[in-house]
Structure 1
Amino acid sequence: MPVRRVVSLVPSLTEAVAVTAPGLLVGATDWCVRPAGLDVVRIGGTKNPDVAAVTALRPDLVVADEEENRAPDLAALRAAGLDVLVTRIRTLDQAFAELERMLVTGCGVTAPRWLDDARAAWDALPPSPRARRAVVPIWRRPWMVLGRDTFAGDLLARLGVENVYGDHPERYPRIPLDQLRAAGAELVVLPDEPYRFTADDGPEAFPGLPAALVDGRFLTWYGPSLVRAPAELRAALR
C-alpha cells in the first residue's frame, strides 16, 4: 500500500520529508518550523504529542526518533494501529543511512538529490591540521554539555574539534561551570539550540577562552541542512 499521508514528530525529519515529497506530510509538531510556511496540522510537542490528534489524521506512517521522542508515546501510537518508523542517529553515517531508510523504504519516495549533495559536501572536507579540544554546552542553569556518542560530537570531530567530554559515561552530562573552565579546553562551542546561547549569554562564562557561536540547525539537524552544514560550521569554528 503506497504511503500518502505522513506525520512527523521530529523537526529535522519533518524538513526532510517536506522538501523531498511536498504534499506527503499532513501533521507535524509545534517545533517543526522548516521549511518556512509549512502548512500542516500541529499535533503538540516532540515530548508530548497529542496521540488522538495524530490518530485522527489517519497517517500511513509516523516518523520519529529514539532520542527526540518518548517510548511511551510511540507505544501509544502503535497501540492505536499506526505504523511508526523510528530512526536512531548517533553519527553522520547513521544519519545518511537512516534518512534514506525513512524516505525510500518508509515513505516510498526516490532518494533525493540533496542527500547525495550532503554526502559529497562532507566527503569534500579537507583534513584538519590538528584537533582542538572543546567544551560544547547545550544548556545553562544547570550547565549541560555534549558527552559520549552524539551526532553533534561526530560532526565536530570531522571538523577537527575534539569534545573534551567525548569519553564521559553520560551522553549529556551536567558539569559545574568551574569544572568546565578547568577542563583544558582550547575552545567553547555554543549552539543556539536547545539553549539559545548568544554573544551576551555564554562567552562571558568562559573568560579567556575563544567562543564559537554556531547555528544549532547545522550542528544537530539531520536533513537537508547537512548540505550546507560543513561550510557553515567551518566558518563558525575558525
Structure 2
Amino acid sequence: MSDPRASSGARVVSLVPSLTEAVAETLPGALVGATDWCSHPADLDVTRIGGTKNPDLERVLALAPDLVIANEEENRAPDLDALRAAGLDVLVTEVRSVPQAFAELARVLAACGAPARPDWLAQAEAAWAALPRPGSRTTAVVPVWRRPWMVLGRDTFAGDVLARLGVGHLYAGHPERYPRVPLEELRAAAPDVVVLPDEPYRFTADDGPEAFPGLRCALVSGRHLTWYGPSLAEAPGVLSAALRATRR
C-alpha cells in the first residue's frame, strides 16, 4: 500500500526540530539533512549537520539542498547569511503565537512541495479552536534555564500557548523575551504554579521543584510547550493534564 502522505522531489535541510518533524510527517523523503537536536520522528534517517546554533555549513552545502528551512530565534543570522551567500535558498520563519505557527507551517510545507494542507495541520488548528475561552487566569512563572535562572518573558510562542490554556505568566510584560531573574525574586512573585518544561533545560522531579518550596510545580513536555509541528494537535490535552497534576 502506498504511503497516503505526499512525497516530494525537493531536497530539504531543516535547522529547526519543530520544522523537521512537520516536513517528515508531510513529505517523506524530502529531508536530506537535520540538526543533531531533531529528535522526531525517532526513526529519522538523514545526514546530521550539527546544532541549531552551530551548524556545519560545509556539510549543509555538500547536501546540495533545494531549500534550507530555519527560524529567526533558533538559528543565527550569520549562518543563514553564509548559506545564502553560497547560493542556497533559505526560508526563515518567525513564530510568536499559535496562529502564527499555523500560518508559518503552511508556508514552509508549501515551499517544500506539499500539494495541499496536511490533515495533521487541520487537526491541530481544530484542537486549538475548540478550547473554551479562559475564565480566571492561573498565574505562573516559567523557567526555561537554570544557572542562571531564566524565564519566559514577553512575546514568546510558549507564552501564547499557556495563555490560551488559561495560564498567565507573570513576566509576560518584561522588556526581555527570556530575562534572567534571581531565584529569590521568582519565589517572592508567589505564582499559582511554577511551570517546568523538560527543554531547553531538562527540569525533572528531582531537579527544579526543590527550588520552589511551598509553591505548586507542574512538570510539562517541552516539545508540547515550545514546538510548532504535529505535536500541536495533542498539545492542549497533554499540557492541560500536566498543569492539573501539580505538586508541592
Give your verdict on TM over 0.5.
yes
Q: How many equivalent pairs are there?
A: 236
TM-score between the two structures when normalised by the length of structure 2: 0.94
Gaps of 5+ in 1: none
**Pairing 1:170–2:176 present:** yes
Give 2:239's aligned amino acid: L
Q: Which residue matches 1:68?
A: 74
**Pairing 1:122–2:115 present:** no
1:1-238 → structure 2 map (5 Å cutoff): 4-104=10-110, 106-109=111-114, 110-238=116-244
8 A contact 1:3–1:61 mirrored in 2: no
Structure 1 Cα separation of the partners of residues 176 and 39 of structure 2? 29
TM-score between the two structures when normalised by the length of structure 1: 0.97
Deviation at 1:3, TM superposition (A): 5.5
8 A contact 1:3–1:60 mirrored in 2: no
CA RMSD of aligned residues (A): 0.9
8 A contact 1:90–1:150 mirrored in 2: yes
Structure 2 Cα separation of the partners of residues 115 and 182 of structure 1? 40
Give 2:81's aligned amino acid: A
Structure 2 Cα separation of the partners of residues 82 and 66 of structure 1? 17
Gaps of 5+ in 2: 1-7
8 A contact 1:92–1:154 mirrored in 2: yes
Structure 2 Cα separation of the partners of residues 73 and 129 of structure 1? 44
Structure 2 Cα separation of the partners of residues 107 and 134 of structure 1? 38
Deviation per residue, 1:44-81 (Å, 9 max, x gap): 11001111110110100000000000000000000110
Ranges of 4+ aligned residues in structure 1 off by more than 6 Å:
none
Structure 2 Cα separation of the partners of residues 86 and 129 of structure 1? 36
